[in-house]
Amino acid sequence: MAGLSKILLVDDNPVVLFKTALLLRNAGYEVIEASTGQEGIDMALEAQPDLVLLDVMLPDMNGVDVCRFLKSRTQLHNIFVVLLSYIETSSDRQVIGLEAGADGYIARPIENRELLARVESLMRLQRAESELRCAHAELERRVVDRTAELSRANLALRDEIEVRKQTEAELRLSRERLRNLALQLMEVQEDERRLIARELHDEVGQLLTNLKILLDLALREATDKNLTLIDQSAELTGELLGRIRQMSLDLRPQMLDDLGILPALEWLFKRTLKQTAIHISFKHSTLPEPLPKALETAAYRVIQGALTNVVRHASVKEATVRMWADSEALGIQVEDHGAGFNADVVLAENTSTGLSSMRERALLLGGQFTIESTPGTGTILTVELPLHSASPNLSRDRDPS
């Protein structure tokens, strides 16, 4: 049965009120009784019943008006109201009652079993609606909680994104600073190479040349006693002079600064042929003039390093060097058909300082570095360097001397 469901019974007929209340109590309902419309309103507001059985004909006001009032109250909006009447039983009167908000309209007389059945049906419906309202309220609560949780998560995510953006910006700035420092260090190294090369060539080389001249003069006037000693001294001086000139060229060929990249490369290829018997085939397109000094230095160092690797590891008698330029970049390619190697492994393990140096130089200037090689198939090294850069390190007017 319905258990402790609460029913408000409003009827001005004491006999009907008594019998109906007894019937409902015996059926297990809690019953509250009222005999006037105003009394029914007061009890409904106070007791908050589940169901109101409301007689239409009351001494102080019409039951339809009572129903309309009860349904207009927010705190009573969910209670069920059923109108009952012996007199106003026509269809029109029932429609008026239902339009006033009544959940049912019962024409009297009605048998007790039917009345209880209708009450029980309404109670089941009322309980179902109550459960539905509770479920809806719980769902709304969960939605609110979940929305708040998502809002907090969203705020936290936005904060994390902002922190990450800031961190990435700082990281980019740090990388740019490191790049600029590396570029500056590279230029300082080239400046030092240039300075030492000139000192060796102009100062030390000149002193040794003068010493050689003096020894040659002394050799002409030498006696048999010191002839051999002076001759050996002159020979050693000549050998030392040759080594000093070689060191100067290895550090930085002066023609790279004086004449530019193409004459310097032609000299490098002839020198390579003379020292190693490896012939270099050089192919190039028309290059823009003048090239930035840093770009010429980078191109020369890349080709020099690549040819050093060819000499040491390729086991070939010839290699090809290509150079080209468009409006955006200067391209360099060094190719041989020698021993080759596993490029992926070497680059991944960073075991070749020469390759690492070339790649680092290219990347610092904003360029690209690729190498294709497998054992037995030879090697193709390609570098592309941008002709124009925002970096002040690529200035064409810089005079390192």
- Residues 324-341 have pLDDT tens digits of 998 889 999 999 999 988
Lowest average pLDDT, out of 157-161, 286-290, 299-303, goes to 286-290
DSSP 326: -
Q: Which two tokens stand for residue 33?
A: 């009784």
| Chain region(s) in the chain for CATH 3.30.565.10 | 255-401
CATH class of the domain comprising 255-401: alpha beta
Model's pTM, two decimal places? Answer: 0.49
pLDDT of residue 393: 44
| Chain region(s) in the chain for CATH 3.40.50.2300 | 6-110
Query: Given a cut of 50, is residue 399 above it in pLDDT?
Result: no
Query: Given a cut of 70, is residue 92 above it in pLDDT?
Result: yes
Query: How confident is residue 14, by pLDDT bands cut at 50, 70 and 90?
Result: very high
Measure the CA–CA gap between 287 and 291, rounded to whole angstroms: 8
Query: Given a cut of 50, is residue 364 above it in pLDDT?
Result: yes
Query: How confident is residue 390, by pLDDT bands cut at 50, 70 and 90?
Result: very low
How many other CB atoms sit within 10 Å of the CB of residue 370?
14
Measure the CA–CA gap between 241 and 228, rounded to whole angstroms: 20
Full DSSP string of 338-370:
S----HHHHHHHT--HHHHHHHHHHHHTT-EEE
Q: Which residue has the tokens 């409301």?
A: 54
> Which is more confidently placed, 152 or 397?
152
**CA dihedral of 289, 294, 297, 301, whole degrees rounded to 10:** -130
With a pLDDT cut of 70, the percent of the chain lying above it is: 80
- Sheet arrangement for strand 30-34: 30-34, 6-10, 51-55, 80-85, 104-107
> Which is more confidently placed, 177 or 249?
177
How many other CB atoms sit within 10 Å of the CB of residue 184?
12
Query: How confident is residue 212, by pLDDT bands cut at 50, 70 and 90?
Result: low
Query: Given a cut of 70, is residue 123 above it in pLDDT?
Result: yes
How many other CB atoms sit within 10 Å of the CB of residue 265?
24
C-alpha distances in Å from residue 367, one per residue of 268, 330, 338: 23, 9, 26
pLDDT of residue 1: 39
Mean predicted lDDT score pLDDT of the chain:
83
Q: Which two tokens stand for residue 80?
A: 């069920």
Query: How confident is residue 320, by pLDDT bands cut at 50, 70 and 90?
Result: very high
Mean pLDDT along residues 7-28: 93
C-alpha distances in Å from residue 95, one per residue of 64, 67, 90, 119: 11, 13, 9, 20
Measure the CA–CA gap between 265 and 387, rounded to whole angstroms: 19
pLDDT of residue 76: 86
Superfamily holding 6-110:
Response regulator (3.40.50.2300)
Q: With 0-12 CB in 10 A as exposed, 13-18 as middle and 19+ as buried, what is 177?
A: exposed
Helix (H, G, I), strand (E, B) or coil at 13: coil
Helices 353-364, 112-198: inter-axial angle, 10-degree rounding: 110
Measure the CA–CA gap between 52 and 67, rounded to whole angstroms: 9
pLDDT of residue 359: 86
What are the tens digits of pLDDT across the range 33-66? 999 999 999 999 999 998 999 999 999 999 999 9
Query: How confident is residue 398, by pLDDT bands cut at 50, 70 and 90?
Result: very low
pLDDT of residue 65: 94
Query: How confident is residue 381, by pLDDT bands cut at 50, 70 and 90?
Result: very high
Contact 45, 138 (CB under 8 A): no
Lowest average pLDDT, out of 16-30, 126-140, 220-234, goes to 220-234
Contact 375, 340 (CB under 8 A): yes
Task: Label each residue of 242-305 as H, E or C.
Answer: HHHHHHHHHHCCHHHHHCCHHHHHHHHHHHHHHHHCCEEEEEECCCCCCCCHHHHHHHHHHHHH
Helix (H, G, I), strand (E, B) or coil at 226: coil
Contact 309, 351 (CB under 8 A): no
pLDDT of residue 248: 60
Mean pLDDT along residues 341-365: 79
